[in-house]
Amino acid sequence: MSDTMSDPEPTSIPHPAPGPHAWLAVAGTFFTVAWGGNEFTPLLKMYQLNGGWSAQIVNVLLGAYVLGIIPALLNGGPLSDRYGRRPLMAPAPVFGVLGSAVLAMGADNPAILFLGRMFSGLALGLVMAVGTSWIKELSESGAGARRASTTLTVGFGLGAAVAGPLAECGPAPLGPALPYLGHTLPLRLLAPPLFAAAPDGAPETDPAAGKK
């Protein structure tokens, strides 16, 4: 017997083969978060005109989004490689709902809008970093990147397309808040069943196996 013992190799965790449409469960959450992430931009001019805000305030609100999205983008992917896609993406719909709810309350308050933008950025950064990898794992070779990109683009497009008309045509008390309130409902209704239906992705190895 050898005098020294090498650390055991990490054990592989088997995953059942996903069905051909399994990726849609992840894409649904991806889509709804992207939708909420792009509602603010077409409303920004309205906020600026109604509040008489300076260009500096507008730039700060735009920067708040970056403060949320960059840390999530940088850390979400590596952490999900280690701990799994589901645990890292699970907070994204929660942050998305919080972001929309806070933005709905802050039409005349830059500080509240700043906080809501940060929550929205966190949500979007997580789905972009984690959701893209998850969709790739659940897709046949070569299709995952295209599916993730299309999901993001359609979500962004819908968010921008409906936000302005809803804010302008909605009842006076709800006008600017209506796009965000309309976003929180499908996100709250869709996220739980979609998450339950989505097969697990990474990690491919058990990170605790090498620590025994």
CA distances from 200 to 8, 23, 74, 197 (A): 25, 11, 21, 9
Comparing 116-120, 131-135, 189-193, the range with the smallest average pLDDT is: 189-193
Give the integer Cα–Cα distance in Å for 22 and 197: 8
Give the integer Cα–Cα distance in Å for 29 and 189: 10
Helix (H, G, I), strand (E, B) or coil at 211: helix
Q: Is the peptide bond before 171 cis (omega within 30 degrees of 0)?
A: no
**Does the pLDDT at position 5 exceed 60?**
no
- CA torsion sign for 129, 131, 135, 137 is positive
For every residue of 66-90, DSSP letters joined together read: HHHHHHHHHHHHHHHHHH-HHHHHT
- Give the pLDDT of residue 21: 77
Q: Is the pTM of this model over 0.85?
A: no
**Does the pLDDT at position 75 exceed 60?**
yes
pLDDT tens digits for 147-200?
999 999 999 999 889 888 888 887 766 778 888 888 887 777 777 777 777 787
Confidence label for 201 from pLDDT (cuts 50, 70 and 90) = low
> What length is written for the chain?
212
Helix (H, G, I), strand (E, B) or coil at 53: coil
- 115 or 162: which leads in pLDDT: 115
Confidence label for 17 from pLDDT (cuts 50, 70 and 90) = low
**What is the average pLDDT across 81-105?**
91
Give the integer Cα–Cα distance in Å for 46 and 42: 8
